[in-house]
Amino acid sequence: MLQFDRSSETLPIMTDDEYAKFCAFFYRQTGIEYHDNKKYYVERRIVDRIAKTNSESFRDYFTMIRFQASGVEMQALVNLMTVNETYFFREDYQFDALVTGILPALVKGKRRGDPIRIWSIPCSSGEEPYSIAINILERWEQADSWDIEIHASDIDSRILAEARAGRFSARSVGRVSSALLSKYFTRKIADEYQICDALRGSIDFSLVNVIDPVQTRPFRNFDIIFCRNLLIYFDDVARRETVEMFYDCLAPAGYICLGHSESMSRMSSIFRPRKFKDVVVYQKPGPGEPLP
């Protein structure tokens, strides 16, 4: 169970109707869907924000997040509501496929001098884009022959600040070998590993809400998109919209890698499944290629 300092005596602060209205609003803004069984989770966080903002009631607070021009409070609430769980080398069979299959196949269609562009969305506290970088540098023998850009985005501004700072706990780096730890990290205090400046400086971090077309529109011509462990929080329509949006973010013949519990077959048929070793990823059709 969740542990909170406040007692639950202050609950409920919202009626079932208000909860439904709030969920509909939050869903429209973020794509994230909460069922009835999440009422406690949601309410605890709203109580926290009501106290911090000195709001009178749930209704007051709800008005504020809907109409505040700066959007500051909505961002604060989003930061509190998201699940940021992540760690280095998570689902690393996909990074295997990246360096042994996807990148070699990708560069066959590229000219020298073309950049390779990778987008990690959502990146949470940065473990995913840094893992991509380390895997490429360590394990792809052609890494030095290409310009590789890694862009990383998340809806949560607080977690992005952590990603930029690049300080990680022992738990987060638990799957990183000691050789790689000493090569790419410095140990500050007992439970803090600082990623090296070279890596920190090579990744472009940005605040992006994946379901907002205005925010995603600048993201074009990517060769590979990692979208892992986000769509599980979305409902069916938001999932469809998201992967269809990725279609326009990808260069022809570009690839999408989803998390292991996120099956493209339940969302869309516009990508072609491609197998690299034991990993299935999805590819946008190349120029002049018919769709599946």
Ligand X SMILES: C[S@@+](CC[C@H](N)C(=O)[O-])C[C@H]1O[C@@H](n2cnc3c(N)ncnc32)[C@H](O)[C@@H]1O
Query: Can you give the binding site for ligand X, defined by CB under 6 A?
Result: 30-32, 82-86, 90, 122, 124, 128, 154-156, 159, 208-211, 228-230, 259
**Residue 219 makes contact with another protein by CB under 8 A:** yes
Q: How far is the CB of 113 from ligand X (least distance, A)?
A: 30
Token pair for residue 289?
Answer: 């290629």
As a whole number of angstroms, the distance between CA 259 and CA 90 comes to 10
**What are the strands of the beta sheet with 185-187, ordered from one edge?**
167-168, 193-195, 185-187
As a whole number of angstroms, the distance between CA 137 and CA 10 comes to 52
**Residue 275 makes contact with another protein by CB under 8 A:** yes
Q: Of 196, 167, 191, whose CA–CA distance to 180 is shortest?
A: 196
Q: How far is the CB of 214 from another protein (least distance, A)?
A: 5
Q: Of 223, 257, 260, whose CA–CA distance to 243 is shortest?
A: 257
Binding mask 69-98 for another protein (x = CB under 8 A): ------------------------------
Q: Which is nearer to ligand X, 253 or 281 (by Cβ)? A: 281
Contact between 208 and 229 under an 8 Å Cβ cutoff? The reply is: no
Owner of token pair 């985005």 = 153
Token pair for residue 89?
Answer: 């080398």
Contact between 123 and 153 under an 8 Å Cβ cutoff? The reply is: yes
The one among 143, 180, 181, 196 contacting another protein by CB under 8 A: 143
Q: In angstroms, what CA-CA distances link 140 with 15, 103, 114, 133, 134?
A: 55, 8, 17, 10, 10
Stretch that binds another protein, among 33-41, 51-59, 91-99, 275-283 (CB under 8 A): 275-283
Q: How far is the CB of 3 from another protein (least distance, A)?
A: 36
Contact between 96 and 174 under an 8 Å Cβ cutoff? The reply is: no
97-136 positions binding another protein, by CB under 8 A: 115, 117, 133, 136
**Residue 139 makes contact with another protein by CB under 8 A:** no
Which residues would be at the binding site for another protein (CB under 8 A)?
Answer: 115, 117, 133, 136-137, 143-151, 198-199, 201-204, 206, 213-214, 217-220, 236-237, 240-241, 244-245, 247-248, 263-266, 268-270, 272-275, 278, 280, 290-292
